[in-house]
Amino acid sequence: MPRDDTEPEHLPGAVGGASRVGRTVRRPTGPWTPAVHELLTYLHDNGLRGIPELHGIDDEGREVLDYVEGRGVPVDKEIVLDTVLAEAVTWLRDFHDLVEGFRPEGARRWRGGESELADDQVICHHDPGAYNWIIQSGHFVAMIDWDMAGPGRPIEDLAFLAWTGIPLYREIPLDDVVRRLDLLVDAYGEWGPMTVLQAVVERMTAASDRIAAGQQRGDEGFLNLAKVGEPQRTRDRVAAFTARLPAIEAAL
């Protein structure tokens, strides 16, 4: 039976919840939304591929974005192809290179709070896990779910991507870890594998702390993550990864 484009379809996975209506995605807004929209508008106007186009706010106060055709990545069931990993990392580098030109004056309210850009920071995606990739015909085509965007260092995004993209959050054969880590650093072209591995521990520890802080301030999106055991799930995974780290470093 053909799909009824007038009926909202819940889209799982988004931090704050999302629904598909026809060829658009509708998402709840918050105090961070104006800053995120400023960012997305800049990226779109300057030609970054692989982001959903913004269409403002609807009558119910939800942001309206293009629905990007393709499929998501069920990270606990699938490890993406080497080629898809390389494409996602290349996209991330393109994004970071472009966003260096986005330097808004004064503080902005992001989901993590109000802050200004430091000299060594850009506006990061902050949630570029493989679950936010869209795959089409076997290729990476888009990065979605920009609500977590805010100031950070580019290596923090790369470390977050490595966590689910390689993946490092769960145990896979050591040879695969080394091969895919080398692929990641070659595609990004800035830091070596040892630097990235150390950044992963720091970034994912920070991710756990941010989730806990969001839950304490009553952010609905972060409260929803408690249903899947966050932040303790990530803390346990970081501890397990740290135990595996000497073997990974020895194999490099």
Q: Say which CATH topology domain 82-251 has.
A: Aminoglycoside 3'-phosphotransferase; Chain: A, domain 2 (3.90.1200)
Distance, in Å, from the CA atom of 252 to the CA atom of 81, rounded to the nearest integer, reads 21
Residue 229, by phi and psi: left (phi above 0), alpha (psi -120 to 50) or beta? Answer: left
* Cα 146 to the center of its chain, rounded Å: 7
Segment 206-228 shows an average pLDDT of 88
DSSP at 71: B
Q: Which amino acid is at 157?
A: D
Q: Is the pLDDT of residue 2 over 70?
A: no
CB 159 within 8 A of CB 200: yes
**Total H helices, total E strands in the chain:** 7, 11
Comparing C-alpha atoms, which of 115, 132, 98, 105 is closest to residue 31? 115
Confidence bin at 13 (pLDDT 50/70/90): low
Distance, in Å, from the CA atom of 54 to the CA atom of 56, rounded to the nearest integer, reads 6
Coil vs helix vs strand at 123: strand
Q: Which helix (H) or strand (E) holds 209?
A: helix 193-216
Q: Is the pLDDT of residue 14 over 70?
A: no
Arithmetic mean of pLDDT over the chain = 93
Judged on CB neighbours under 10 Å (0-12, 13-18, 19+), 177 is: buried
Give me 124's structure tokens.
């990061």
Residues 32-70 have pLDDT tens digits of 999 999 999 999 999 999 999 999 999 999 999 999 999
Comparing C-alpha atoms, which of 49, 78, 60 is closest to residue 19? 60
Tokens 């403002």: give the residue. 56
CB 173 within 8 A of CB 167: no
Segment 194-211 shows an average pLDDT of 95
Residues 223-244 have pLDDT tens digits of 888 888 999 999 999 999 999 9
Residue 138, by phi and psi: left (phi above 0), alpha (psi -120 to 50) or beta? Answer: left
Which pTM does this prediction carry?
0.92
Segment 146-154 shows an average pLDDT of 96
Q: Which amino acid is at 20?
A: R
C-alpha count within 13 angstroms, C-beta hemisphere, residue 196: 28
Express the helix, strand and coil content of the chain in percent, nearest 5 each: 45, 15, 40
Tokens 């109000």: give the residue. 114
